[in-house]
Structure 1
């Protein structure tokens, strides 16, 4: 069966309309999901552990007499690390080491406190402190994601977070050893086998057993996304993730089967995932299309890939690589591959992307698992104003201000004028009291 991937060209009159249809995706949550999530949050907030136990039994088929039965001990996490195969352990440890090294560099670059003194002795600066407690949500059910454990827990650990609490659904009690082993490696302090909106609620509000956190990170299904949106303000969140995306900028020098498989790598996530190729070489686009036809029947998740490519995928012929870069900036993709023998030539033209993968050998999948940078990335065009998850997401900043007596004479005059202009006389007087030779001020 032929794969009907949409093929566009920027030279055609209807390109803009067709391009808009390719990008269109509604982020609105289903009204029924919203209502059910609101009910779950309210129930967990009011009944705590009892509500979480009820929903875990209903949705995951996992019955427990108390929440303590759903908490994984450190011994269980370490035991999982010992039970996985030697090959899996080596891979997990290597990935964890690379992720940790990258985020330690990030800490050195942007995660430190700083201060300076003016010539009058006034100290100004910034104090960086880690969050006290964070919750990380790790998806479970259809698949298990040890890589998500590493990408969420390690930057939190590097940032200095006091306590990392993991929640992961285990439908019918089926635990994934790689997920538990990753938690042991990544420094997770407490872990609960709960998921869905009820797990988000437990983390946001706290129960008798699950501690309330300051921030929740990690991806999930529509119920998890809706719950994170609703609890924001009670706690911080990382982002509301949409379907996964890959955009490949190709100059025609990469083997076409490599590019076809890279498009598959995101399409296999789910039917709403988006895979787009931008290329100025029409002949090369035809070769990629041929490889899509050849390789798809070999893929175990071919039905999902086909639905994704036919529903939201596109092969776009551009006038030039420069135009391809312009279109990429309009899309602001989650994953952006520059599949070229001159990636450094095009990278300066690229402003908006969650992560940029440079060169033919840099497949997006390496970033997902072990390259080092975080794979929790902004989607749905939010890379225009958002960044990957990082050390900075697990820290907060406080301004430092220590005004000297001499500095108060200069700043006080400025503040007094502006405060009177705003009609805030107490503000003005507070500054004026510290001025020498002013009525009511220091003598």
Structure 2
């Protein structure tokens, strides 16, 4: 890994391509075809991109039972325990409607309503991500969403991963379709003969899925446009180099564009971690991916003091941040921008990916400056409630009408004055 000294104005940002013109055009064509041809387009694209005919798109009850039977009792217990942790964490986020009344009798408030239908995209094909099912479906469940629709690309056998289906069953997802890619996003956004459209689409995917979510945004809501995974580790001389290197590689193995950064106040730790990364990456099954990620996006930044290190982290605004230092809680309080913060030696990033409970769907590419992890609020909408009393209306009518006229909106003013009836019962002339 490259080692460099922190300097004022240093940029830890990376440029992430938002897709090529050809990729964007391909996605637009797919969406158009799905809107026009429905299920027929889904079958065509599944055969073309996944190399398999999905047959019946809807996953049957028998497939769900077979999936559960294919896993060991230990595997099912692990998924169930992870689900329990995730459920409990998100249930603590639930907000309630509220109302307040003043002495005039005016009532104001906020009404929270779950979304009617949410689509959950789960990557698949050559890999299985049961954690994605839990992290996307369980907050929606906690929010009270009644219809959760899951889509995922089938494997070469035309089926979905047993672990993914078992996780869906544990999360209470019953409507599942064997379709992925941009075509699945289009189906969720606009509907087909089989798949009814949803109100919001969540979940990670490849560049085509990300571009498709961007295209349909506005017709439906989306969670975010997720980029390649990121980890930043803020460490001092108390950190153990082998552990830091392992955590950096835990993200590097995701994608050749994944970003792994160590920010440290210790030159000796920087050198030891660089050496450890070289040793450990050679032993990984996904060596080629991790090595390319480290080569192109891996960095070690050495800072003269901890204040500089904190500044560097806030400038990066990483998806995942580990703090492995003395006084880690004190330092955490100074972090303004990070998707998830892991504190201490035993809070390795995969703890959050799978088991602790907080959501692993996180803002990437610096968007932690203004956005948050996926949470229960993402699956509810808020309506303002206004029930104005006659007393408050009479008191404030002239001021409201005057405000409307300041903006040149005469009809607004007259709407207020129409309620100021004269003694004959007639409105204003």
Answer yes or no: is the 8 Å Cα contact 1:138–1:167 preserved in 2. Answer: yes
Say which SS state the counterpart of residue 112 (structure 2) adopts: strand
Answer yes or no: is the 8 Å Cα contact 2:16–2:227 preserved in 1. Answer: no
Residue 429 of structure 1: how far off its partner (Å): 1.4
Is 1:93 aligned with 2:77?
no
CA distance in 2, matches of 1:330, 1:64: 46
Q: Aligned match of 2:133 in 135, 149, 173?
A: 149
What's 1:335 paired with?
320
TM-align CA RMSD: 1.6
What's 1:409 paired with?
394
Q: Aligned match of 2:97 in 113, 130, 134?
A: 113
Q: Which range is displaced more, 171-180 or 365-374?
A: 171-180
What's 1:24 paired with?
14
Say which SS state the counterpart of residue 398 (structure 1) adopts: strand
Answer yes or no: is the 8 Å Cα contact 2:155–2:161 preserved in 1. Answer: no
Distance 1:87 1:424, change over 3 A: same
Q: Which range is displaced more, 184-193 or 337-346?
A: 337-346
Q: Residues 67-106 of structure 1 correspond to what in structure 2 (within 5 A)? A: 69-106=56-93
Provide Cα deviations, 1:192-248, integer angstroms capped at 9, x if missing partner: 010000000000000110010000000101110110000001100000011100000
Is 1:175 aligned with 2:180?
no
Gaps of 5+ in 1: none
Tell me the matched-pair count. 426
Answer yes or no: is the 8 Å Cα contact 1:256–1:287 preserved in 2. Answer: yes
Distance 1:42 1:121, change over 3 A: same
Residue 411 of structure 1: how far off its partner (Å): 3.2
Residue 437 of structure 1: how far off its partner (Å): 5.5
What's 1:240 paired with?
225
Is 1:45 aligned with 2:35?
yes
Residue 28 of structure 1: how far off its partner (Å): 2.2
Residue 254 of structure 1: how far off its partner (Å): 2.0
Say which SS state the counterpart of residue 24 (structure 1) adopts: coil
CA distance in 2, matches of 1:294, 1:127: 56
Q: Residues 210-225 of structure 1 correspond to what in structure 2 (within 5 A)? A: 210-225=195-210
CA distance in 1, matches of 2:337, 2:57: 41
Gaps of 5+ in 2: none
Residue 440 of structure 1: how far off its partner (Å): 4.6
What's 1:60 paired with?
50
Answer yes or no: is the 8 Å Cα contact 2:118–2:145 preserved in 1. Answer: yes
Q: Aligned match of 2:213 in 205, 228, 231?
A: 228
Residue 120 of structure 1: how far off its partner (Å): 0.9
CA distance in 1, matches of 2:86, 2:426: 58
Q: Aligned match of 2:144 in 160, 174, 177?
A: 160
Q: Which range is displaced more, 338-347 or 217-226?
A: 338-347
Answer yes or no: is the 8 Å Cα contact 1:247–1:335 preserved in 2. Answer: yes
Distance 1:145 1:320, change over 3 A: same
What's 1:367 paired with?
352
Say which SS state the counterpart of residue 173 (structure 2) adopts: coil
Residue 296 of structure 1: how far off its partner (Å): 1.9
Say which SS state the counterpart of residue 58 (structure 1) adopts: helix
What's 2:343 paired with?
358
Answer yes or no: is the 8 Å Cα contact 2:319–2:368 preserved in 1. Answer: yes
Provide Cα deviations, 1:242-279, integer angstroms capped at 9, x if missing partner: 11000000012121111000000000001100000000
What's 1:125 paired with?
109
What's 2:329 paired with?
344
CA distance in 2, matches of 1:428, 1:7: 65
Q: Which range is displaced more, 291-300 or 224-233?
A: 291-300
Say which SS state the counterpart of residue 70 (structure 1) adopts: coil
CA distance in 2, matches of 1:435, 1:128: 33
Q: TM-score scaled by structure 1? A: 0.93
What's 1:421 paired with?
406
CA distance in 2, matches of 1:124, 1:437: 28
Is 1:286 aligned with 2:271?
yes
Residue 77 of structure 1: how far off its partner (Å): 2.2
CA distance in 2, matches of 1:113, 1:78: 39
Say which SS state the counterpart of residue 298 (structure 1) adopts: coil
